[in-house]
């Protein structure tokens, strides 16, 4: 990923499109909560918690709206960030990547610790932001002149753990997408957000493979 190739440009196009779509959803969820957004964005435990509108409790609507906005903001950052990394790579200083993704990662971790509701949802986005930070720092590390210098700088065990996580997440989102009823892959429904998150999961997995 140090020199833009056709694969990198395709990855950038897909992730940028997903990020832009999440930004558009963020504008809508800031005024009205979409239950499908929170359910599609979160891991299974959180998705079940917001899947039944009839089970709402006082304050649950506001909490669901907050989770939906957090999800859209995190997905937009991840999608657009992956697109920038696929094209720019090591051209951007490491400190920029560290602040861009490290701060949201810390914020999601703190929110997960202090707010039990939506904990799995926030931990997932924290892992995503930390993975972006880790990948970016490895990409921008000083080169020793070897083509695979990032592999020596990255931690193999951490890279493997992240590969397992995003590989499993991609399979889970893909299985949910396959179970989406026919005809629901229209803008604003549950199908397209899941397709966007599937794209970003695959993109993160592909980026980790380059390390």
162 domain-assigned: yes
Tens-of-pLDDT digits for all 211 residues of the chain? 545 577 788 888 988 998 898 888 887 766 554 444 443 444 444 444 444 333 334 345 677 777 878 888 888 999 999 999 888 877 888 889 889 999 999 999 998 888 777 788 889 999 999 999 998 888 777 654 444 444 445 688 999 999 999 999 999 988 887 876 654 444 445 567 788 888 889 989 988 887 7
> Residue 38: its pLDDT value, please?
42
1 domain-assigned: no
The alpha carbon dihedral of 157, 80, 118, 42 has a sign of negative
83 domain-assigned: yes
> Residue 145: its pLDDT value, please?
46
Query: How far apart, in whole angstroms, are the C-alpha atoms of residue 21 and residue 42?
Result: 17
- What distances in angstroms separate CA 200 from CA 12, 47, 77, 98, 103, one per listed residue? 10, 19, 11, 19, 20
Residue 43, domain extent: 6-209
pTM of the entire structure?
0.73
> Residue 31: its pLDDT value, please?
53
111 domain-assigned: yes
109 domain-assigned: yes
The half-sphere exposure of 72 on its side-chain side, counting CA atoms within 13 A, is 26
Count the domains in the chain: 1
């Amino acid at each position: 990923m140090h020199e833009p190739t056709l694969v990198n440009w395709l990855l950038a196009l897909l992730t940028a499109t997903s990020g832009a779509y999440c930004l558009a959803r963020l504008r809508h969820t800031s005024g009205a909560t979409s239950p499908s957004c929170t359910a599609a964005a979160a891991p299974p435990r959180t998705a079940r918690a917001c899947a039944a509108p009839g089970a709402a409790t006082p304050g649950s609507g506001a909490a669901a709206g907050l989770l939906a906005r957090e999800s859209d903001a995190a997905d937009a950052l991840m999608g657009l960030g992956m697109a920038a990394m696929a094209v720019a790579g090591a051209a951007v200083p490491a400190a920029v990547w560290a602040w861009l993704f490290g701060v949201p990662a810390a914020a999601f971790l703190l929110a997960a610790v202090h707010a039990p509701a939506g904990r799995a949802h926030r931990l997932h986005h924290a892992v995503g932001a930390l993975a972006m930070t880790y990948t970016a720092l490895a990409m921008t590390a000083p080169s020793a002149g070897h083509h695979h210098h990032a592999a020596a700088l990255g931690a193999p065990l951490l890279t493997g753990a992240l590969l397992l996580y995003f590989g499993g997440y991609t399979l889970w989102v893909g299985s949910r997408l396959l179970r989406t009823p026919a005809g629901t892959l229209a803008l604003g429904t549950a199908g397209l957000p899941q397709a966007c998150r599937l794209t970003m999961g695959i993109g993160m997995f592909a980026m980790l493979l380059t390390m």
